Amino acid sequence: MSTPGDAQNRDEVQDGEESQVEDVQASAAQSGSEDQSGDDAKSRGDAKSHGAAVGLQGDKITIRGGIPLVGRIELKGAKNLVTKAMVAALLGESPSVLKDVPNISDVRIVRGLLGVHGVKITDGEEPGDLILDPANVESAHFADIDAHAGSSRIPILFCGPLLHRLGEAFIPDLGGCRIGDRPIDYHLEVLRKFGAVVEKQPSGIRMSAPNGLKGAKVELPYPSVGATEQVLLTAVRAEGITELKGAAIEPEIMDLINILQKMGAIITVDTDRVIRIEGVDRLEGYQHRALFDRNEAASWAAAALATEGDIFVGGARQPEMVTFLNVFRKVGGAFDIHDDGIRFYHPGGELKPVIIETDVHPGFMTDWQQPLVIALTKAHGVSIVHETVYEQRFGFVDALVEMGATIQIHKECLGGQACRFGQRNFNHSAVITGPTKLHGADIEVPDLRGGFSHLIAALSADGTSTVSNVGIISRGYENFITKLQLLGADFDLEG
């Protein structure tokens, strides 16, 4: 079994969970410079461990910018799907086979967590194939869970499956990127609705299900990806019917539903964000090829535009990227749809300013705005980005301003309707005035998407930049160093 702790995940697990603003502000007010330096040191340590997990031989890149990225790269499965699909294997009574699993550190973390719970994981015949055998699921010690979880929030999603298999679960402390508050309390409340007994202990949180888990009615105040995943993974084997209102319907959620249906689950999705799950007594293993990573595809598309390059992203598909493709075209980018991927390129001419408002699917994804902001610094005019999913996603902008970008951050809701962060003292709107020339600088990666955005900025800038903490990028971008080499980037990777 596990042992106490507290956790959760996103894509990161909690896309836009309702924020506990007062707690965040009180905590921030009490934090001194020593706490900040401690956080920075931990962040650097986490970055190195993420990179080391996938064989990255350094944590700092010196980039000589101004060279268009040209070539072809290949995608594997979505980070925001494969980690949840791996957890779903806990629910089966037979082995599962998951294909196109990327070699990223978040996958390594989940692999370790499954391992300490007795799941046997072996590599399949093809690169990216994983075979997950849950025949001997067992309790794990808290220290083992904590050691493997690291900065990941995924352990919270283990709770439903473990309560079904073992009757109890423990979870360690939360981690993840510092892009906004992602409280665990709502996850715990959801589990209580199914009949879980939650006991907070000094070493973490222990859960039990003395009477088993029962179907429940759950209504989300916001279509949270993490909470939707929690309900799905818990409800499929709960006794009775579960009705989830206000569910997230991201492609990764729909692909997780596909996997659970293959296992024997009965799940219906209505057009009004209502998902109904009829609990079943038994689920079998699955065989599934993971949905491609649309966040990585958009990141490379933005890199092609910002560097005036031409990148073919193998494995990318149009249906899951329609909203991004529309904005990409409005900015002045061009793309060609092929059976085996999408070609993204700068067709020449001036880039145009746009107004973007992030939203849950089918809106413009929060993960897409950060890479695209780099291209918007080169657009002729004023662009506005209104972030409505995470309240603290513009931390990466400081480095861009240092590199010569003209970006102003505002607390007001700009460019669209008022959102839940309005009047709450969060800097969640950005005004980008261009075109501006970026120049080289020393940059420290703050989080996953912001980190890749800093790479794009350095690649498109005049002169030399040094980007440190790049191990964080290994959380969600497979073999990004090799891909940069394939695209002709001029850089050195240092220790």
- In the chain, where are the structural domains located? 40-75+293-494, 79-289
According to CATH, the topology of domain 79-289 is UDP-n-acetylglucosamine1-carboxyvinyl-transferase; Chain (3.65.10)
Q: What is the pLDDT of residues 464-488, one digit of tens each?
A: 999 999 999 998 999 999 999 999 9
Residue 144 has pLDDT above 80, yes or no: no
Q: What integer best gives the mean pLDDT of the chain? A: 87
* Mean pLDDT calculated for residue range 245-260: 98
Residue 490 has pLDDT above 80, yes or no: yes
Residue 449 has pLDDT above 90, yes or no: no
pTM given for the model: 0.88
* Mean pLDDT calculated for residue range 185-194: 91
Which of the residues are catalytic?
A: 177
pLDDT reported for residue 457: 97
Q: What is the pLDDT of residues 313-326, one digit of tens each?
A: 999 999 999 999 99
Q: How confident is the model at residue 37 (pLDDT cuts 50, 70, 90)?
A: very low
Residue 20 has pLDDT above 50, yes or no: no
CATH of domain 40-75+293-494: 3.65.10.10
pLDDT reported for residue 95: 98
pLDDT reported for residue 391: 86
pLDDT reported for residue 98: 98
* Mean pLDDT calculated for residue range 420-446: 93
pLDDT reported for residue 51: 73
Out of 145-154, 335-344, 445-454, least confident range: 145-154
Q: How confident is the model at residue 244 (pLDDT cuts 50, 70, 90)?
A: very high
pLDDT reported for residue 143: 65
Residue 54 has pLDDT above 70, yes or no: yes
- Both ends of the chain: CA-CA distance in Å? 38
**To the nearest whole percent, how much of the chain has pLDDT over 70?**
86
Residue 28 has pLDDT above 90, yes or no: no
CA nearest to 269, candidates 279, 285, 280, 258:
258
Q: How confident is the model at residue 398 (pLDDT cuts 50, 70, 90)?
A: very high
Out of 157-166, 177-186, 342-351, 418-427, least confident range: 177-186
Q: How confident is the model at residue 416 (pLDDT cuts 50, 70, 90)?
A: confident
